[in-house]
């Protein structure tokens, strides 16, 4: 409980820091809330005075009543205007705060290391930035709308009642703590439940994201029933924890209403007794009954607000948890790597994703400018890991990697990656035009440059056949293109930038044989004078490489040209013959 309270307090403190940026709007909202409450509480006094002007049948001060009615009308208009302005300002504060938090969360997501994204469900991360922040905004808006006016109404009502009759006010104050105790007890119970609800909702979002993104595989392997079972199981848990959270939160309002009804009844009995004894006039009794009703009403609203705030705090805690994840280590004193000369050296490099399971150990490699380095080996030998280290998606745990004689940990990541052009086996395209996708790494490129890059990648012909050519809108991840067409666009993207070093990770795996031959020729032209790292499973594509690295269990066990490795009768020859044996 102590840990939960600390987290609760920390979350609330951080929310207040975000709200503090708009402190002048908050103060203005508070002032309007004060005007609204004061004018609302003044109306019962006028009504009480009006009641006292009705002395009996045929004995009514109509002139006095007319004045009072005009005053009531003016106050009602003032209250309406103040409440409208207050709600408008509260909306401004809430959605500015939400925008700030969501922007900061997304910006932090952009600087998180790949290790975080590799070890967390995508759907849960999306749920934190979208659904949890939406839930938080609803609770925050309700807090601004009802909490300020509720608290001020309670304090103002007590002040007015004390001014009319302190004795009856004491009766109200004595019963009030019971309402606060009930609301506080239920609020503590609901926080943990709303936290579990947010977590389960993220789990469900992750499953839906996974199923939609891989529906072809799901249907191809007949996994629909299993997917439905998984969905039903998580959905049932979400239903259960949501019901528990809503059940406890729904108890709050009836419980506080019961206590508040006791307050109203106590005021009615005490006031009636005082009126009989001549301590109060009938008008003053009506004032007290009106105030008793207004005094108890905010407790019902605040109890609902507290419940929503528990949900909001639980959601905010999940967002802040994401924002507290360690970002990529800062690049203090890092220098910009200008155009690299193509020299790459790996010196005693060791790396593993899990310290208990070593992967790459004491790897040494010296690449000269312009060399084409092919990397081959069985699945899991460390080929893609080596690429991740070259691009500095992960940092080495031992040794160092040098580019142009500089340790890559001493240069900015942006400048390092700008010197590499990378085409992966897994294609990625953004929602937008074909032109925008090709120019992803060079937004300022002209249409002529884009067309030349597309021609070099042999993508121009199929682009021209599309309805709007280079202005054709493609869906997210290129869903309306074939896998081969998507890969051609990714290749064209690199052809447009032409950096001094290239990484081709199974870059032609989804292309037909005839197009592959043409792409290989385009690659050969593109690789002239550029250091290139080629990861390949089809060994026919790397025969012309200057050096072939054969990896196994994180080590380079053989290296040399294609012909040299065949004559060694080693692991490479076995791999080659397994693909081309009769």
State the CATH number of the domain containing residue 459: 3.40.50.300
User: Is 240 inside any structural domain?
Assistant: yes
Which segment, 146-155, 412-421, 476-485, is predicted with the most confidence on average?
A: 412-421
Residue keyed to tokens 């891989």 = 214
- Establish if 114 belongs to a structural domain: yes
Whether residue 265 is contained in a domain is answered as yes
Q: Chain centroid to CA 209: how far? A: 15
- The residue from 288, 323, 358 where one domain ends is 323
Give CA–CA dist 369/404, Å, rounded: 9
Mean pLDDT (whole number) for 15-30: 85
User: What pLDDT, in 10s, does the model give residues 304-357?
Assistant: 677 677 778 888 888 888 888 887 777 778 888 888 888 999 888 888 888 777
DSSP state of 408: G
pLDDT at 2 over 60: no
DSSP three-state, residue 578: helix
- Return d(Cα 70, Cα 76) in angstroms, integer: 10
CB atoms within 10 A of CB 142: 21
Tell me: pLDDT of 274 over 60. yes
Average pLDDT over residues 107-133: 81
CA dihedral (489, 490, 492, 493) positive or negative: positive
Cα dihedral 220, 225, 229, 235, rounded to 10, equals 80
Residue range 391-439, pLDDT digits in tens: 888 888 888 999 988 888 888 888 888 888 888 777 778 888 889 888 8
DSSP 329: P
pTM value is 0.68
Residues 207 and 74 in one domain: yes
The confidence score (pLDDT) of residue 467 equals 84
Q: Domain check: are 315 and 448 in the same one?
A: no
**178 confidence band (pLDDT: 50, 70, 90):** low
- Which residue among 262, 289, 323 closes a domain? 323
Please check whether residue 338 lies inside any domain of the structure. Answer: no
Statement to judge: residues 425 and 548 lie in one domain: yes
* 336: in domain: no
Beta-ladder partners of 559: 549
Element (H, E) at 116: helix 114-119
State the total domains in the chain: 2
Does residue 375 share a domain with residue 301? no
pLDDT at 238 over 80: yes
**What is the distance between the alpha carbons of residues 85 and 81, in angstroms, rounded to a whole number?**
6
Mean pLDDT of the chain: 80
Residue 84's CATH number: 1.20.1560.10
Give the pLDDT confidence score for residue 81 in this predicted structure: 92
Two structure tokens written together for 281: 């006039």
Cα–Cα distance measured from residue 386 to residue 399, given in angstroms and rounded to the nearest whole number: 13
Give the per-residue pLDDT at 34: 83
DSSP assignment, residue 394?
S
Minimum mean pLDDT among 190-194, 320-324, 442-446, 503-507: which range?
A: 190-194
Domain enclosing residue 34, as ranges: 2-323
> Higher-confidence residue: 534 or 222?
534
Using the 8-state DSSP alphabet, how is residue 330 labeled? P
Domain for residue 337, yes or no?
no
**pLDDT value, residue 63:** 79
Based on the fold, state whether residues 318 and 385 are members of the same structural domain: no
Residue (of 30, 39, 300, 44) closest to 161 by Cα position = 44
Residues 244 and 188 in one domain: yes
Position 331 in a domain = no
Give SS3 for 361.
strand
Residues 97 and 34 in one domain: yes
| CA distances (Å), origin 341, targets 80, 106, 495, 530 | 71, 35, 18, 9
Most confident of 1-10, 66-75, 131-140, 189-198: 66-75
Is 267 a member of any domain?
yes
Q: Please check whether residues 484 and 410 belong to one and the same domain.
A: yes
pLDDT of 515 higher than 80: no
Handedness of CA 249, 255, 259, 264 (dihedral sign): positive
Phi and psi dihedrals of 68, rounded to 5? -65, -40
Instruction: State the pLDDT at residue 3.
Output: 60
Task: Please give the backbone phi and psi of residue 498, each rounded to the nearest 5 degrees, phi first.
Answer: 45, 65
Q: Among candidates 397, 422, 553, 581, which has minimal Cα distance to 498?
A: 422
- Shared domain check, 123 and 211: yes
The answer on 250 and 151 residing in a single domain is yes
Q: What is the CA radius of gyration of the chain?
A: 35
Distance of CA 463 to the CA centre of its chain: 35
pLDDT tens digits, 52-83: 777 656 666 777 778 888 888 888 898 889 88
Same domain, 273 and 381: no
pLDDT mean over 12-36 = 85
Mean pLDDT to the nearest integer, 362-391: 85
DSSP three-state, residue 489? helix
pLDDT for the residue 529: 82
Residue 581, pLDDT score: 58
Q: How far apart are CA 248 and CA 243, in angstroms?
A: 8
Q: Which residues pair with 421 in a beta bridge?
A: 502
Task: Identify whether residues 435 and 564 lie together within a single domain.
Answer: yes
Say if residue 541's pLDDT is above 70: no
SS3 371: coil
Share of the chain above pLDDT 90, in %: 1
């Amino acid at each position: 409980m102590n840990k939960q309270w600390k987290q609760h307090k920390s979350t609330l403190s951080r929310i207040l820091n975000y709200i503090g940026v708009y402190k002048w709007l908050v103060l203005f909202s508070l002032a309007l809330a004060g005007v609204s409450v004061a004018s609302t509480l003044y109306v019962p006094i006028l009504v009480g005075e009006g009641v006292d002007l009705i002395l009996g049948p045929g004995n009514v001060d109509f002139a006095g009543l007319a004045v009072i009615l005009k005053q009531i009308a003016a106050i009602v208009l003032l209250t309406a205007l103040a409440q409208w302005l207050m709600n408008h300002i509260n909306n401004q504060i809430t959605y500015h705060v939400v925008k700030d938090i969501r922007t900061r969360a997304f910006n932090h997501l952009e600087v998180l290391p790949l290790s975080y994204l590799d070890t967390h469900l995508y759907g849960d991360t999306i749920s934190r930035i979208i659904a949890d922040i939406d839930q938080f905004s609803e609770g925050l808006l309700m807090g601004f709308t009802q909490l300020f006016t509720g608290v001020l109404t309670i304090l103002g009502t007590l002040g007015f009642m004390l001014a009319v009759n302190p004795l009856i006010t004491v009766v109200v104050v004595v019963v009030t703590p019971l309402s606060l105790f009930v609301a506080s007890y239920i609020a503590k119970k609901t926080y943990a439940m709303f936290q579990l609800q947010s977590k389960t909702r993220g789990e469900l979002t992750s499953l839906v994201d996974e199923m939609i993104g891989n529906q072809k595989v799901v249907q191809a392997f007949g996994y629909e029933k299993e997917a439905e079972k998984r969905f039903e199981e998580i959905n049932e848990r979400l239903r259960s924890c949501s019901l528990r959270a809503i059940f406890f939160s729904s108890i709050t309002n009836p419980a506080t209403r019961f206590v508040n009804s006791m307050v109203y009844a106590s005021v009615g009995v005490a006031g009636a007794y005082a009126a009989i004894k001549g301590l109060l006039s009938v008008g003053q009794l009506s004032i007290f009954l009106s105030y008793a009703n207004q005094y108890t009403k905010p407790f019902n609203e605040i109890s609902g607000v507290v419940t929503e705030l528990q949900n909001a705090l639980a959601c905010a805690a999940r967002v802040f948890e994401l924002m507290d994840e360690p970002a990529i280590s800062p690049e203090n004193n890092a220098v910009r790597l200008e155009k690299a000369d193509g020299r790459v050296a790996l010196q005693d490099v060791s790396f593993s994703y899990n310290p208990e399971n070593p992967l790459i150990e004491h790897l040494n490699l010296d690449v000269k400018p312009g060399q084409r380095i092919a990397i081959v080996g069985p699945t899991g030998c460390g080929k893609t890991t080596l690429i991740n280290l070259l691009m500095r998606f992960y940092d080495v745990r031992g040794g160092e990697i040098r580019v142009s004689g500089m340790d890559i940990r001493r240069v900015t990541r942006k400048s390092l990656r700008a010197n590499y052009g990378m085409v992966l086996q897994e294609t990625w395209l953004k929602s937008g035009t074909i032109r925008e996708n090709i120019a992803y790494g060079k937004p300022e490129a002209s249409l002529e440059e884009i067309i030349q890059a597309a021609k070099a990648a042999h993508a121009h012909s199929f682009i021209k056949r599309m309805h709007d050519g280079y202005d054709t809108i493609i869906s997210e991840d290129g869903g309306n293109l074939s896998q081969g067409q998507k890969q051609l666009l990714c290749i064209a993207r690199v052809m447009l930038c032409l950096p001094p070093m290239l990484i081709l990770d199974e870059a032609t795996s989804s292309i037909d044989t005839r197009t592959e031959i043409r792409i290989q020729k385009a690659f050969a032209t593109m690789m002239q004078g550029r250091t290139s790292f080629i990861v390949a499973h089809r060994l026919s594509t790397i025969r012309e490489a200057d050096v072939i690295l054969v990896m196994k269990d994180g080590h380079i066990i053989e290296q040399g040209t294609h012909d040299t490795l065949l004559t060694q009768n080693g692991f490479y020859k076995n791999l080659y013959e397994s693909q081309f044996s009769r």
